[in-house]
Amino acid sequence: MPEGFREDGKFVAIREELDATDRERSLREVNTGIYLFDRELLFRALARIGSNNRKNEYYLTDTIEVLREEGCKVEAFPFAAAAEGTGINSQKDLATVTERINQREIERHMERGVTFVSPARTFVAPGVVIGAGTVVNPWCWVETGVTIGKNCKIGPFAKLRPGTKVGDGSEIGSFVEVNRSTVGKGVCAKHLSYLGDAVIGDGVNIGAGAITANYDGKNKHVTKIGKNALIGSNTVLVAPLVVPERVKTGAGAVVTRGTRMKKGGVVVGIPARQISKKKR
């Protein structure tokens, strides 16, 4: 790897290790390959570099000496930590760097009041927002572009994909996947559900195994669920669909846009139909 060296405390050149002198090889500064050039100056310098080296190659890094000889300002900036300059040359390197980034992100959230029950067994991508008081259990996967509110419970084994927003006090439990969806406040989806392209109102309860069937083979469609609805276990909500407030669905119901529903109504069956409430 090329090494940078200094003379009287000044950065003067980047030298390929094969072409470096013994004195230059003794230096511990390493070029990470990140540059910022003035475009016109760079192309002018490139016209002057040669291939007089052990590999008989043209080195971009030789432009540093050319520019310095022309009186241009040339500076080197060290990283805050050596790990920032880690190179990725293999799948093993990629895994190591990904783990470091994940650790950094989780530590950032913990400093802001988020609890991770097992940080080593949780993945949180950069660009995630999590509110204070939220607890993230092990084996959760949270992707870039996700926003989680305050005092939520996530996981274990939950997957939150880009475009997902989870409101304050909601619970996304075991083996629940949420994708491109807005989840209101105080929503409970504890078990084995898929919520894709959904807008879920406050206080909704999603039963175990319930899903939004958002894909018709060509396009994705939206499911809207009104406040305080109770979606029974293994309910299939076939989008596009609007479920009114306080609607209850029976276990195993298949609800389509052809299903007639009123606020506070109960729908059951395949396909689902609304049933009358018994008078007391």
The architecture CATH gives domain 91-274: 3 Solenoid (2.160)
**Among 256, 252, 187, 247, which residue's Cα sits nearest to residue 221?**
256
What gap in Å lies between CA 41 and CA 66, rounded to an integer?
10
Cβ atoms < 10 Å from Cβ of 12? 16
Is position 109 annotated as part of the catalytic site? no
The three-point CA angle 239-241-243 to 5° equals: 135
pLDDT at 277: 63
In whole angstroms, how large is the CA radius of gyration of the chain? 29
User: What is the pTM (predicted TM-score) of this model?
Assistant: 0.80
The single residue of 191, 221, 227, 273 carrying the catalytic annotation is 191
Helices (H) and strands (E) in the chain, counts: 4, 27
Mention every residue, 6+ apart, whose C-beta is less than 8 A from residue 207: 191, 193, 230, 231, 232, 233, 234, 235, 251
Q: For the segment 7-64, what is each residue's pLDDT rounded down to a tens digit?
A: 555 788 888 888 888 888 888 788 888 899 999 999 999 999 999 888 899 999 999 9
Say which range, 1-5, 122-126, 160-164, has the weakest mean pLDDT: 1-5
> HSE (CB half, 13 Å, CA atoms) of 179?
12
In the chain, CATH 2.160.10.10 sits at: 91-274
- Please report where in the chains the tokens 């894909």 appear, as a residue: 215
Asked if residue 156 has pLDDT above 90, the reply is yes
